[in-house]
Chain A
């Protein structure tokens, strides 16, 4: 189970990331159900962690524009399971997308300080 909190109308949870040298870093992310990928991280964090570069990809933003972003490979500890996932290097606020949430249960008490829970689907 992963738990987080509502802060300023954002559902935030912290996840653990590993660098290729197995350094552990905990990063607070916003759960974004409009993002169909796994995870975005600010380019500076991707650089600090030394996440291996994969490829450029196109992404479609809320204003319907297409951007080219770099995909890197990251390792995340997700509900007790280490997962190797594509990480987009972009933006300032790390985002967790629905590909990471797929096959998990997400519940949110949407009030300031409310509980965000990611758990197994029963």
Chain B
């Protein structure tokens, strides 16, 4: 199911690195904190929306062959499953 030759873990790792190194400072605005961000690992292009699927499909419409990672702006995970999300944005 994962794209190309990358495992889910590798996509997640690359997505997080891209987010931290290139996107974090520009996307972590008060309006975006808590929303979902879909990132194209090839181009660094991204889409932000409160709806995960909306962000993904907008990104996919621009670049159909995108390798995508999805995160939650300003938090350490997309969903809590019994746990608690940790806010990472200041």
Interface residues of A (CB under 8 A from B): 32, 34-37, 40, 53-66, 68-71, 73, 84-86, 88, 95, 97
Contacts and interface: CB of A to CB of B under 8 A. Distances in A.
B82 A35 contact: yes
Interface residues of B, number: 26
Contacts of A73: 53
B53 A57 contact: no
Contacts, number: 99
Nearest to B68: A55
B77 A84 contact: no
Interface of B: 1-2, 8-9, 11-12, 15, 38, 52-53, 56, 68-71, 76-86
Q: A interface, by DSSP: helix, strand, loop or mixed? A: strand
The B interface is mostly helix, strand or loop, or mixed, namely mixed
A66 B81 contact: no
A54 B8 CA distance: 11
B1 A60 contact: no
Contact of B79 (A55, A56, A65, A88): A88
Contacts of B1: 53, 70
Q: Which 6 A-B pairs have the closest CB atoms?
A: A62-B82, A60-B83, A56-B8, A37-B79, A57-B78, A58-B77
Nearest to B54: A84
A82 to B, nearest CB: 14
A56 B38 CA distance: 10
Contacts of B9: 56, 68
B18 to A, nearest CB: 13
B79 A36 contact: yes
Contact of B78 (A34, A53, A58): A58
